[in-house]
Amino acid sequence: MNQQHQDEQARIREAMDRLLAGQATASNGSLTVVALAAESGVHRMALMKRHADLKNEFYERVRTETKQVPETEKQLRAKVAKLKETVANQRAELEELRRLVTNLTLAGAVLTQRSDVPREPAPAADNVIPFRPSTV
């Protein structure tokens, strides 16, 4: 590990301690990766990529030390619940459409069967007057 990497890790750990103690100096004090990055002076993407282990450690400490669920996890859980509801609704709709297709297929078969049976022409009604061709 190079010296810059070790310095960043030390700054991140110090920032974790400040945030969890509620003594933020360079951020808004929220228990998020964005606040951790601002508090430590490390770019957020560097924290996410090079120091993913520290990010995970931070969230674990948030859970254990503050008995809170991180905001990002709350948002993800809400999104998952919404997506599960959407999937359940789509499954129900798909099942209804399958029933409808089956019923329409059966109805089509019945109608086709009826049209194959030769029928006698309907008797002409005695009150029907045929149109005469126009003479214009």
Mean pLDDT of 60-68: 84
DSSP letters, 68-135, are: ---HHHHHHHHHHHHHHHHHHHHHHHHHHHHHHHHHHHHHHHHHHHHHHS--PPPPPPTT--PPPPP-
pLDDT at 135: 67
Q: Is the pLDDT of residue 85 over 90?
A: yes
Q: Is the pLDDT of residue 26 over 70?
A: yes
Q: Are the C-beta atoms of 22 and 67 separated by less than 8 Å?
A: no
Cα–Cα dist 52/42, whole Å: 13
pLDDT at 87: 97
Of residues 131 and 49, more confidence is placed in 49
pLDDT at 65: 84
Q: Which amino acid does the sequence have at 49?
A: K
Q: Is the pLDDT of residue 134 over 80?
A: no
pTM, 2 dp: 0.52
Q: Is the pLDDT of residue 125 over 60?
A: yes
Residue 62 CB contacts under 8 Å (≥ 6 apart), including other chains: 20, 31, 68, 70
pLDDT at 79: 96
> For residue 113, what pLDDT band results from cuts at 50, 70 and 90?
confident
Mean pLDDT of 2-28: 88
> For residue 30, what pLDDT band results from cuts at 50, 70 and 90?
confident
pLDDT at 131: 72
Average pLDDT, the chain: 85
Cα–Cα dist 15/11, whole Å: 6
